[in-house]
């Protein structure tokens, strides 16, 4: 599980995260909120890209605050970004290998782990093709393979379905649901697509203006009046 305690991230006078406290159990969990709510800042704080002013982040009992970004990745924190990050000139295999070889020992186990990740996302037939020759959907899957290769403990998915058609989003949601069971990683999904969040996440937290608005079972959270108000605004809700 992941325990967030009074996490505050401040840029100058702006508090992007304001004393956020909640827990996520093992499984696939969602983090939603309007634009500017602090979702990506939360991911950045978990990844080690921004230093929290106060607070702690414990994942399966290990404190992450204070650990350097690349060491967190080697420990087992993986993430995808809103923009595509798969390396165009490398093959699918080498993209996934690049992540795995940073954190795990070599040998035959490595090849098998990379192979499992590529087969998990269904790209075995194009494993040796350069990523630049693949479709947008396939490139997204390469990023997912990079996130799950080896033994990740925490997988952070930042709008993985952005720009994908509905059918591809549905199939991606199937893969996301399988991550905790097949790869043993707690998965946190940030997305504006509520259907995707509902279909993947057992537990969901809602941020608005850097504060935690609600946390709990996804179906209940999405019906919460405070959450509806955060998305639509007070006037829209009243009308």
Partner 1 sequence: MSVKTAGTRTAGATLQAIVPPRLWRDRSLLIGAIVVVVVFVAGPLGMNSYWLQASTVAIVYALIAGGAGLLVGRVGLYSLCQIALTAAGSWMALRLGFGTSLPFPVIILLSGAFSAVLGIIIGLPSLWVSGLALALLTLMGASAITLVLTVIHFPNGGDGILGYSETGQGAPALARPLIGETTDGYFRYVLVVAAIVFLIVWLHLKSRPGRSWAAIRQSPASAQAAGVNITLYRVWAFLLASFIAGVAGGLLAATGGIYITQFPVQDSIILLAAVLMAGAYSLWGAVLAALLMKFIGAAFSIWNVPPGLLLMLFGAGILQSLLQSPTGIFGQLSTDLPKLWRRIRRGHRPAEEGRA
Q: Does 42 bind partner 1 (CB under 8 A)?
A: no
For residue 17, the minimal CB distance to partner 1 (Å) is 18
For residue 234, the minimal CB distance to partner 1 (Å) is 36
Q: Does 126 bind partner 1 (CB under 8 A)?
A: yes
Distance CA 158, CA 147 (A): 11
Q: What angle do CA 19, 22, 23 make, to 5 degrees?
A: 150
Distance CA 209, CA 186 (A): 25
Residue with tokens 């269904």: 122
Q: Which of residues 73-112 bind partner 1 (CB under 8 A)?
A: 73-74, 77-79, 81, 85, 87-91, 93-94, 97-99, 101-103, 111-112
| Nearest CB to partner 1, comparing residues 61 and 106 | 106
* Contacts for 44 with CB less than 8 Å, ≥ 6 apart: 9, 50
Q: Does 231 bind partner 1 (CB under 8 A)?
A: no
Distance CA 111, CA 53 (A): 40
Distance CA 116, CA 152 (A): 13
Instruction: Extract the tokens encoding 222.
Output: 């999405």
Residue from 3, 19, 168, 224 touching partner 1 (CB under 8 A): that is 168
Q: Does 178 bind partner 1 (CB under 8 A)?
A: no
Q: What is the contact surface with partner 1 in residues (CB under 8 A)? A: 47-49, 69-71, 73-74, 77-79, 81, 85, 87-91, 93-94, 97-99, 101-103, 111-112, 114-115, 118-119, 121-128, 135, 137-138, 141, 146, 167-168, 171
């Amino acid at each position: 599980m992941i325990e967030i305690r009074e996490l505050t991230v401040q840029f100058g006078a702006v508090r992007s995260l304001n004393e956020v406290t909640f827990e996520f159990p093992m499984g696939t969990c969602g983090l939603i909120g309007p634009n500017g709510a602090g979702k990506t800042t939360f991911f950045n704080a978990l990844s080690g890209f921004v230093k929290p002013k106060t607070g702690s982040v414990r994942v399966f009992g290990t404190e992450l605050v204070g650990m350097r970004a690349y060491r967190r990745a080697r420990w087992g924190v993986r993430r995808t970004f809103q923009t595509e990050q798969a390396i165009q000139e490398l093959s699918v295999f080498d993209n996934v290998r690049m992540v795995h070889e940073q954190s795990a020992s070599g040998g035959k186990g490595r090849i098998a782990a990379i192979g499992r990740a590529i087969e998990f996302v269904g790209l075995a037939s194009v494993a040796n093709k350069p990523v630049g020759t693949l479709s947008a959907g396939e490139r997204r899957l390469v990023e997912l393979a990079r996130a799950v290769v080896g033994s990740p403990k925490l997988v952070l998915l930042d709008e993985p379905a952005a720009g994908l058609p509905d059918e591809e989003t549905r199939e991606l949601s199937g893969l996301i649901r399988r991550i905790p069971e097949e790869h043993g990683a707690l998965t946190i999904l940030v997305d504006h697509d509520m259907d995707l969040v509902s279909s993947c996440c057992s537990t969901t937290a809602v941020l608005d203006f850097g504060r935690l608005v609600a946390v709990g079972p996804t179906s209940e959270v999405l019906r919460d009046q405070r959450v509806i108000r955060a998305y639509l605004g007070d006037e829209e809700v009243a009308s």
